[in-house]
């Protein structure tokens, strides 16, 4: 387990550094208004790409962990379904492009980001498959190499052409290299998938798999839409410049938040294979809770204690109005990491539908809390609503797990204590 986590830490660090550094660099180069346009187009593209992702990452990790059938057969069915879903995605992109969904003056940039989202979704899935067979080094190699290429391509473009459409084109080129690296490794790790695909024959199996994966797709979709709901709210009611200010911090949060699903994918196959061994399940369960809680606490401390002069040096003075949001973002990350740990336990026990319902409720809380408060409090209302929504998700998962065969009173009590201490520290600092 430690070796797996070490490889995953390497991949995560590469993703975090390349993503966070690039977003900071792009924000400084474009400014709040142009950066807001870029973020909106990127968010729309990633939401559209949900129809290709379709929750397959979680599904594959669970099925490979259960080891009920050959891995190549599982992957062949999923890839067949992804081929069908990719055609659907391309049709949706053309409709959105023709319908004028792109931010002002950026139809070409929007199309480039949509294609980039498809490429990244496929590449990420191929790398998730390596986790299912415990070949974490392959993903680490692909991610590190492609991250270097990503920075090397995007940075010169942003310097030479500080417009969001040029940056979008650079993203498409660099992420295509990521897909190429991933395909080469995938063919090496799963040499029989091609033959299995041919053996499936008709597309009926892919269609059946799509129907059977609806609950996984719904949960993954809700997580992603919930992550981008703030973008659409701010863009609609406050405009591009406030969105750029807000997202300069939230993009950093999203980059760090990606650590959660990666840790989850290390633990999920193992937990899914231990359902008939309660003692071993409980031991890995505690490890997951402690690790996720530690990550949340570290993120909270880093954002809560960051001095204003350091933020100004990193992001630039043009983004100074956004610095007051960073302690709130820290609280959000703390709640999210604990909730993600509990969500993994729900999935491992086969309670996927419970996660989906909780996602719907959490999304509703976010929108209904932020919407009426934005006219008075601006982006602060959206950041605070995100914390409330994350806490609702945490409490929902905790209550659902208490009815399971293995109690989590110790982990849930720790999570509740951490949340209370964090909230009190924030209130004391702000004097409210």
Most confident of 35-49, 181-195, 393-407: 35-49
Least confident range of 188-197, 349-358, 373-382:
349-358
| Separation between Cα atoms, residue 307 and residue 118, nearest integer Å | 38
Q: Angle 407-412-415 (CA atoms, 0-180°, nearest 5)?
A: 160
Distances (CA, A) of 388 to 97, 153, 323, 356, 367: 34, 38, 20, 18, 11
* Residue 210 confidence (pLDDT) above 80: no
Structure tokens at 253: 């949060």
Position 430 scores a pLDDT of 60
Confidence class of residue 117 from pLDDT cuts 50, 70 and 90? very high
Position 226 scores a pLDDT of 74
Confidence class of residue 428 from pLDDT cuts 50, 70 and 90? very low
Confidence class of residue 5 from pLDDT cuts 50, 70 and 90? low
Distances (CA, A) of 242 to 147, 384, 387: 29, 15, 19
Q: Which residues, other chains included, contact 381 with Cβ-Cβ below 8 Å and sequence gap of 6+?
A: 369, 370, 373, 374
Mean pLDDT across the chain: 80
* Residue 9 confidence (pLDDT) above 80: no
Q: Is the dihedral of CA 403, 406, 410, 415 positive or negative?
A: negative
- Residues of the chain with pLDDT > 90, as a percent, come to 9
| Separation between Cα atoms, residue 113 and residue 211, nearest integer Å | 28
Among candidate residues 236, 240, 233, 224, the one with its CA nearest the CA of residue 380: 233
Q: Which residues, other chains included, contact 178 with Cβ-Cβ below 8 Å and sequence gap of 6+?
A: 119, 120, 123, 142, 143, 146, 149, 150
User: In sequence order, what DSSP letters do the residues of 270-318 get, joined into one string?
Assistant: HHHTTTT-HHHHHHHHHHHHHHHHHHHHHHHHHHHH--HHHHHHHH-GG
* Residue 389 confidence (pLDDT) above 60: yes
Confidence class of residue 175 from pLDDT cuts 50, 70 and 90? very high
Q: E strand or H helix at 53, and its extent?
A: helix 50-53
Mean pLDDT along residues 390-404? 76
* Residue 377 confidence (pLDDT) above 60: yes
Mean pLDDT along residues 274-301? 82
Question: Looking at per-residue confidence, does 422 or 84 come out higher?
Answer: 84
Distances (CA, A) of 22 to 147, 207, 333: 10, 38, 21
Position 203 scores a pLDDT of 67
Distance separating the N- and C-terminal Cα atoms of the chain: 43
pTM exceeding the 0.95 threshold for the entire prediction? no
Mean pLDDT along residues 56-67? 70
Question: pLDDT tens across 231-265, in order?
Answer: 888 988 888 889 988 988 888 888 788 778 778 77
Confidence class of residue 178 from pLDDT cuts 50, 70 and 90? very high
Confidence class of residue 224 from pLDDT cuts 50, 70 and 90? confident
| Separation between Cα atoms, residue 412 and residue 405, nearest integer Å | 15
Residue 257 three-state SS? helix
* Residue 402 confidence (pLDDT) above 70: no
* Residue 420 confidence (pLDDT) above 60: no
Position 174 scores a pLDDT of 94
| Separation between Cα atoms, residue 187 and residue 330, nearest integer Å | 40
Q: What are the structural domain ranges in the chain? A: 1-211, 213-432
Position 405 scores a pLDDT of 44
Q: Which residues, other chains included, contact 68 with Cβ-Cβ below 8 Å and sequence gap of 6+?
A: none
Position 10 scores a pLDDT of 62
């Amino acid at each position: 387990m430690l070796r797996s986590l070490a490889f995953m830490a390497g991949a995560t660090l590469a993703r975090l550094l390349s993503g966070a550094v690039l977003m900071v660099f792009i924000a400084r180069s474009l400014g709040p208004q142009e950066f807001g346009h870029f973020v909106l187009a990127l968010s729309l593209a990633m939401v559209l790409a949900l129809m290709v992702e379709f929750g397959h990452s979680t599904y594959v990790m669970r099925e490979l962990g259960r080891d009920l059938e050959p891995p190549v057969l599982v992957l062949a069915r999923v890839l067949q379904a992804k081929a069908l879903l990719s055609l659907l995605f391309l049709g949706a992109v053309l409709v959105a492009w023709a319908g004028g969904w792109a931010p002002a003056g950026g139809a070409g940039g929007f199309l480039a980001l949509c294609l980039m989202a498809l490429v990244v979704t496929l590449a990420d899935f191929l790398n998730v498959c390596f986790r299912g067979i415990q070949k974490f080094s392959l993903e680490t190699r692909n991610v590190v190499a492609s991250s270097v290429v990503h920075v090397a391509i995007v940075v010169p473009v942003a310097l030479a052409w500080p417009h969001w459409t040029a940056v979008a084109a650079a993203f498409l080129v660099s992420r295509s290299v990521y897909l190429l690296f991933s395909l080469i490794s995938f063919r090496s790790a799963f040499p029989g998938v091609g033959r299995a695909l041919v053996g499936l024959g008709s597309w009926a199996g892919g269609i059946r798999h799509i129907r059977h994966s609806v609950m996984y797709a719904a949960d993954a979709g809700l997580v992603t839409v919930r992550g981008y709901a703030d973008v659409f709210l701010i863009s609609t009611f406050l405009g591009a410049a406030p969105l750029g200010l807000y997202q300069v911090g939230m993009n950093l949060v999203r980059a760090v938040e990606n650590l959660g699903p990666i840790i989850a994918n290390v633990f999920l196959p193992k937990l899914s294979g231990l359902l008939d061994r309660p003692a071993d399940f409980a031991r890995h369960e505690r490890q997951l809770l402690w690790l996720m809680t530690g990550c949340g606490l570290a993120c909270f401390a880093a954002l809560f204690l960051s001095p204003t002069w350091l933020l100004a040096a990193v992001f630039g003075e043009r983004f100074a109005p956004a610095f007051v949001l960073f302690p709130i973002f820290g609280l959000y990350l703390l709640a999210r990491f604990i909730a993600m740990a509990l969500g993994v336990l729900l999935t491992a026990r086969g309670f996927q539908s419970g996660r989906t319902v909780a996602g719907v409720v959490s999304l509703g809380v976010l929108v209904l809390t932020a919407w009426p408060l934005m006219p008075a409090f601006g982006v602060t209302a959206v950041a605070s609503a995100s914390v409330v929504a994350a806490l609702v998700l945490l409490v929902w998962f905790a209550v659902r797990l208490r009815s399971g065969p293995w109690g989590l009173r110790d982990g849930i009590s720790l999570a509740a204590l951490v949340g209370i201490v964090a909230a009190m520290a924030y209130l004391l600092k702000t004097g409210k």
